[in-house]
Structure formats: structure tokens, C-alpha cells
């Protein structure tokens, strides 16, 4: 009997990953290609290049294409049954942009099955290095956009967010101002997500509503480009961006390239790709009232919302699985890479040792609080490493076990305080659903449970963006609500229960953290 398979890809910051599920939602294949180690010729660290100014952060666009070549080759070698794939979808790190040169569309439409994708596309990007979400070099463009529409809150009311440096409209404005020739040579601008879809489609794929919400360019309620935002960023921008489509839209069938080179069925559908955080919401099967914490390269926290109230903190995106609804997102740039730095410095580079050391210092860390913003943070907009003792006095260092606990507690206190700013009620007994690379670490999740005073659940697979896209691919072929499609997915597993003895300790610590973060913050909201 013919199997029915659905594929979900994720073009994340550090790697390209894939998950295949069967019609019963069992994961039948999982694989990935890591940029730093599998493609060392691009000399990335953590998948990116940080430029000399320490603000500009890019990734070579063709590296993503080459990673796709490698991944498909790995699947072929593993005898993956491409012919059984009914539909595929995917996600990408949000906000990053890809600049297709005049003529690229023609190449996409006529890809030669005998050659890898990267060889055919390498000369067709007008900007070789894509700006990505870690970039914070566009403050001038942000101020201009906010001034043009009448202020930060008005921009948030239109697009769901005040101006953020990494948001694509501001990035495009910088490209236009600093590299006009390249801008003019650009036929089409994709997000990382719609770029991924374009590779499969063999044509330019539209930007979806959910990832499109992270650009400071889309009218959040009408789901069309906001003319005044477009005009404030660059001329002819609407034409270069194409139209916006619902996140569950089928954008077409896989191109002949995949049929001939890998044996995909010509009837395999390509469903809109979306942002990695919206995709994670799908993969976590988030319900109204749940809160999800993703611990990847960036840490993010998201909620399902019906009635959004865009504010000067956080972002509102169109909900990727229920397009009449919304999601709120908070993004923390200093996530896994900061934890890794402390692990390498204090715990001999071992996560096991890190977990042991976390247990050596007690919850609340005897009142010591650390704030570790190695790079310019997003929430709040500030940078620097700050350590405070129980008297709120600055200290220059902690001993190793205290440092290990301080980084984890500091990161989760920040999430708690900013979630409370969005209206989240600690003690509401809602579920915390954890995902991302660090959600494999039980010791870290125990601190999350204690600080949020809630049970933390995980699923077998930490890679919820990929899984969410495989679910979304299946959902797009039905008329039923998303929750119906994922009803029989494996139950979540309880990973950590809050210790009631820590409740008061963390209430006090959260209040102190809020005060200290305010003191060090240079955020101008």
C-alpha cells in the first residue's frame, strides 16, 4: 500500500533540518545539515558572519542553497521515499531577506536535474550575504519609518510591532540606501521562508501572512502591504515583494527538478513556508492559554491571541494555523550561544557538567542575579554583562556554580517579567510548552518550571518548527481545523514540575530582576 508522507523543512540560524511524518503523524525521518561543520567553506560561526561594526550580521545566501543540496543528497542516500510525499512545507529564521537578481526567476523555472541547485543559482543573488534577524544596524531606518507614520505606537497599531532593527522593511531600506545598484538589480525580495518555498516551487513563492507580519511592512488586520510603510522604506518595493498569501495556502507543485533528480511525485504540493516561530506554534500544538518557550539560537516566548493589542514591547503576528487569530511573540537574542559561552567557561564545555553545577547552587542563587547580554539584546534593547549580589550591588564575577545558575535564572526571570508585561498571569496554572535545542536539558527545564510556577511539557522531538511544518502540510489539504489534524499526535511529556518551596523566592527575585533590568536598560520605548 502507498504510504502518505508529509515533509517539514526548517532553514534555521545554524542549520537546515527536515522531518517527515506519515499519515498517522509518526515521525519516519529526521535529518539536518549544520552550516559551521558541514559547510566549513563558508566560515560561519553559529551559521552567521558578524561584521566588524558588531551590529551587521549576515549569512551567505548560497550557503542555504548548498545546505539544501546536501540535505536532499543525504535523504537520497538513506533511500527516503520521495515519491510518497503528498505535500511539503517549511519555515525559516524570521526577518532575514534574500535578493534575487534579474533573471533568477528564469533559472528557477528551468533548473537542470543534472546539476546541484547551488551551482545553478550562485550568480543569481544581487546581494550575496543576506541580512538576518541578529542584525541590529538599522536604527536610523527604524527612526525614519516611525517618524514617517507618526510614531512608534502608530507603527505598532498598523503592523503589530514598533520598528525593530531586524525587521525586514528596515533591512531593505538599508540595502536601498547603502547599495542602490544591488537594489535596482533585484527582481524579487523573499523572506528566508518564502525563499525556501521558491527553491521547491521553481518559481517565486509568495510571502505568507504570518512571517509577513515580521517586516514592519504589512497591515496586520487587512493582510496587505501598508503603502505608507512601503514608501518609507524603498521605491518599487511592493512590486519586488509580490503578494501576501494565507499561511496555509498551497503555492503550487514541486518543480520538475525534484521529480527528475529525486523522484518526487509531480503532484507533491508545496504549502506556503512561514517563520520558524509561527511554525513552532503549530509544532507545539499550542492552545489558547498555553505559553510556549523555545530555547534555540534565540530564545522566544509565544502565546495564542484572539484580540491583539499591539504595544511597544513584543510583536503581534497573524496566527499561522488559524488565520482569523493572532500570536504574540517575545524574542531574546542572547539564548543558546550565551548559555554555551558560560558552559564552556565554567563547565568544561559539557552540558552534563553544566547540569550538575546548576544543582550545586540553590534556587534563588542566594540572591545573586546575573544579566548576560553578550550581544545587543532585543528584549530589552541593551547590551552588556551585569552581576549583582543580594544587596543589588554590582560585582565583577561569580564563582562557577553561581555563574551557571545566574545565567539560567537571569534568562528565565527576563522571560517571566516580559511575559507579565504582556498580561501573562503567573500562577494561572497554564502549561508551559518547551522546545528548541536546550529543551533537551531537564536541569534547565526545572528552573523554567520553578520561575514560571507551572508544569513544563516537552514532546519527543525538540525540533518543533520542522514538525509544525509537516503538520501544516497535512492540514493544508483538509477543510478541518488544525487542532483536528493534530488530535492524534503523541501526548506531551511532563519534563519538570514546579517546586512550591521556590514560589516566594522567585516572586521576590522577579521583582528585583525587573528593577535591575530597568536600571541597566538603555531602551527608549
Residues 6+ apart with CB under 8 A from 472: 8, 89, 247, 248, 271, 274, 279, 282, 320, 321, 482
300 binds ligand ADP (CB under 6 A): no
**Residue 14 binding partner per list ligand XUL, ligand ADP, none, with a CB distance cut-off of 5 to 8 Å that depends on partner kind:** ligand ADP
Query: Where does this chain touch ligand ADP (CB under 6 A) — which range of 106-114, 244-252, 300-308, 333-341?
Result: 333-341
Q: Which of 198, 379, 441, 502 binds ligand ADP (CB under 6 A)?
A: 441
Report the residue number, 336 or 381, with the smaller CB distance to ligand ADP.
336
- The β-bridge relationship of strands 218-219 and 224-225 is antiparallel
298 binds ligand XUL (CB under 6 A): yes
Q: Which of 14, 44, 56, 58 binds ligand ADP (CB under 6 A)?
A: 14
Q: Which of 277, 379, 411, 446 binds ligand XUL (CB under 6 A)?
A: 277
Contact 441, 490 (CB under 8 A): no
**Residue 430 binding partner per list ligand ADP, ligand XUL, none, with a CB distance cut-off of 5 to 8 Å that depends on partner kind:** none
Tell me which DSSP letter residue 492 carries: P
Report the residue number, 297 or 459, with the smaller CB distance to ligand XUL.
297
Cα–Cα distance measured from residue 287 to residue 483, given in angstroms and rounded to the nearest whole number = 9
**Cell numbers for 384:** 552588556
Report the residue number, 90 or 296, with the smaller CB distance to ligand ADP.
296
> Which backbone phi and psi does 238 adopt, to 5 degrees?
-55, -40
Least distance CB 436 / ligand XUL (angstroms): 9
Contact 338, 408 (CB under 8 A): no
133 binds ligand XUL (CB under 6 A): yes
Query: Where does this chain touch ligand ADP (CB under 6 A) — which range of 77-85, 278-286, 389-397, 433-441?
Result: 433-441
464 binds ligand ADP (CB under 6 A): no
Cα–Cα distance measured from residue 409 to residue 277, given in angstroms and rounded to the nearest whole number = 23
**Cell numbers for 171:** 533591512
Q: Which of 5, 6, 7, 15 binds ligand ADP (CB under 6 A)?
A: 15
Residues 6+ apart with CB under 8 A from 317: 160, 210, 211, 213, 214, 275, 277, 278, 326, 327, 328, 329
Binding mask 311-340 for ligand XUL (x = CB under 6 A): ------------------x-x---------
Q: Which of 9, 13, 165, 313 binds ligand XUL (CB under 6 A)?
A: 13
Q: Which of 162, 166, 174, 343 binds ligand XUL (CB under 6 A)?
A: 166
> Which backbone phi and psi does 53 adopt, to 5 degrees?
-70, -5
The angle formed by the CA atoms of residues 262, 266 and 272, to the nearest 5 degrees, is 95
276 binds ligand XUL (CB under 6 A): yes
338 binds ligand ADP (CB under 6 A): no
Query: Where does this chain touch ligand ADP (CB under 6 A) — which range of 111-119, 253-261, 370-378, 430-438?
Result: 430-438
Contacts (CB under 6 A) with ligand XUL, residues 85-104:
93-95
Q: Which of 438, 445, 469, 509 binds ligand ADP (CB under 6 A)?
A: 438
Least distance CB 329 / ligand XUL (angstroms): 6
Report the residue number, 13 or 216, with the smaller CB distance to ligand XUL.
13
Measure CA of the first residue to CA of the last residue in the chain; give whole Å.
Answer: 59
Query: Where does this chain touch ligand XUL (CB under 6 A) — which range of 292-300, 358-366, 405-413, 508-516?
Result: 292-300
Cα–Cα distance measured from residue 451 to residue 502, given in angstroms and rounded to the nearest whole number = 8
Cα–Cα distance measured from residue 225 to residue 206, given in angstroms and rounded to the nearest whole number = 13
Q: Which of 36, 73, 340, 374 binds ligand ADP (CB under 6 A)?
A: 340
Query: Where does this chain touch ligand XUL (CB under 6 A) — which range of 28-36, 115-123, 271-279, 405-413?
Result: 271-279
Contact 301, 448 (CB under 8 A): no
Sheet with strand 129-131: strands edge to edge: 49-50, 57-60, 129-131
Shortest-Cβ-distance residue relative to ligand XUL: 94
Residues 6+ apart with CB under 8 A from 5: 20, 21, 22, 28, 81, 84, 85, 86
Query: Where does this chain touch ligand ADP (CB under 6 A) — which range of 98-106, 137-145, 175-183, 332-340?
Result: 332-340
Shortest-Cβ-distance residue relative to ligand ADP: 437
Least distance CB 375 / ligand XUL (angstroms): 13
Residues 6+ apart with CB under 8 A from 12: 47, 92, 93, 276, 296, 297, 465
**Cell numbers for 412:** 528565565
Q: How many residues bind ligand ADP (CB under 6 A)?
A: 16
Contact 99, 186 (CB under 8 A): yes
**Residue 15 binding partner per list ligand ADP, ligand XUL, none, with a CB distance cut-off of 5 to 8 Å that depends on partner kind:** ligand ADP
- The β-bridge relationship of strands 315-318 and 326-332 is antiparallel
Residue 389's H or E segment, with its range, is none
List contacts with ligand ADP (CB under 6 A).
Answer: 12-15, 296-297, 336, 339-340, 351, 436-438, 440-441, 444
List contacts with ligand XUL (CB under 6 A).
Answer: 13, 93-95, 133, 166, 214, 275-277, 296-298, 300, 329, 331
Amino acid at each position: 500500500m502507498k504510504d502518505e508522507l508529509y515533509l517539514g523543512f526548517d532553514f534555521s540560524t545554524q542549520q537546515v533540518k527536515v522531518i517527515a511524518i506519515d499519515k498517522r503523524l509518526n515521525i519516519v525521518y529526521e535529518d539536518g545539515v549544520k552550516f559551521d561543520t558541514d559547510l566549513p567553506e563558508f566560515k560561519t560561526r553559529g551559521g552567521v558572519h558578524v561584521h566588524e561594526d558588531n551590529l551587521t550580521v549576515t549569512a551567505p545566501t548560497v550557503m542555504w542553497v548548498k545546505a539544501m543540496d546536501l540535505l536532499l543528497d543525504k535523504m537520497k542516500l538513506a533511500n527516503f521515499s520521495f515519491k510518497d510525499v503528498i505535500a511539503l512545507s517549511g519555515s525559516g529564521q524570521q526577518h532575514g531577506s534574500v535578493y534575487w537578481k534579474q533573471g533568477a526567476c528564469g533559472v528557477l523555472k528551468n533548473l537542470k536535474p543534472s546539476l546541484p541547485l547551488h551551482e545553478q543559482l550562485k550568480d543569481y543573488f544581487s546581494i550575496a550575504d543576506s541580512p538576518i534577524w541578529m542584525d541590529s544596524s538599522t536604527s536610523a531606518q527604524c527612526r525614519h519609518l516611525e517618524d514617517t507614520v507618526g510614531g512608534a505606537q502608530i507603527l505598532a497599531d498598523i503592523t503589530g510591532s514598533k520598528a525593530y532593527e531586524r525587521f525586514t522593511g528596515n533591512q531593505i531600506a538599508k540595502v536601498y540606501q547603502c547599495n542602490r545598484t544591488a537594489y535596482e538589480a533585484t527582481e524579487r525580495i523573499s523572506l528566508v521562508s518564502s525563499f525556501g518555498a521558491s527553491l521547491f516551487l521553481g518559481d517565486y513563492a509568495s510571502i505568507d501572512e504570518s512571517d509577513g507580519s515580521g517586516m514592519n511592512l504589512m497591515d496586520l488586520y487587512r493582510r496587505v502591504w501598508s503603502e505608507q510603510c512601503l514608501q518609507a522604506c524603498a521605491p518599487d518595493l511592493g512590486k519586488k515583494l509580490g503578494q501576501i498569501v494565507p499561511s496555509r495556502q498551497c503555492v503550487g507543485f514541486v518543480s520538475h527538478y525534484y521529480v527528475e533528480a529525486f523522484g518526487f511525485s509531480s503532484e507533491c504540493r508545496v504549502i506556503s513556508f512561514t517563520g520558524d516561530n509561527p511554525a513552532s506554534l503549530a509544532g507545539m500544538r499550542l492552545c489558547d492559554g498555553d505559553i510556549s518557550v523555545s530555547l534555540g539560537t534565540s530564545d522566544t516566548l509565544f502565546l495564542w491571541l484572539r484580540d491583539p493589542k499591539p504595544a511597544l514591547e513584543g510583536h503581534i503576528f497573524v496566527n499561522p494555523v488559524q488565520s482569523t487569530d493572532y500570536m504574540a511573540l517575545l524574542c531574546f537574542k542572547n539564548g543558546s550561544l550565551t548559555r554555551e559561552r558560560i558552559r564552556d567557561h565554567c563547565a568544561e564545555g559539557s552540558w552534563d557538567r553544566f547540569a550538575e553545577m546548576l544543582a550545586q547552587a540553590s534556587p534563588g542563587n542566594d540572591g545573586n542575579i546575573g544579566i548576560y547580554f553578550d550581544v545587543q539584546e532585543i528584549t530589552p534593547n541593551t547590551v552588556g554583562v551585569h552581576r549583582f549580589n543580594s544587596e543589588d550591588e554590582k560585582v565583577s564575577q561569580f564563582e562557577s556554580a553561581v555563574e551557571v545558575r545566574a545565567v539560567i535564572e537571569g534568562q528565565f526571570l527576563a522571560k517571566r517579567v516580559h511575559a507579565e508585561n504582556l498580561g501573562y498571569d503567573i500562577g494561572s496554572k497554564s502549561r508551559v510548552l518547551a522546545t528548541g535545542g536546550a529543551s533537551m536539558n531537564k536541569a534547565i527545564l526545572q528552573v523554567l518550571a520553578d520561575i514560571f510556577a507551572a508544569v513544563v511539557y516537552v514532546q519527543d522531538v525538540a525540533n518543533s518548527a520542522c514538525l509544525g511544518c509537516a503538520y501544516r502540510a497535512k492540514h493544508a489539504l483538509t477543510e478541518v481545523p488544525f487542532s483536528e489534524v493534530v488530535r492524534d499526535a503523541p501526548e506531551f511529556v511532563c519534563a519538570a514540575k514546579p517546586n512550591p518551596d521556590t514560589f516566594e523566592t522567585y516572586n521576590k527575585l522577579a521583582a528585583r530582576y525587573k528593577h535591575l533590568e530597568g536600571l541597566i536598560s538603555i531602551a527608549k520605548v
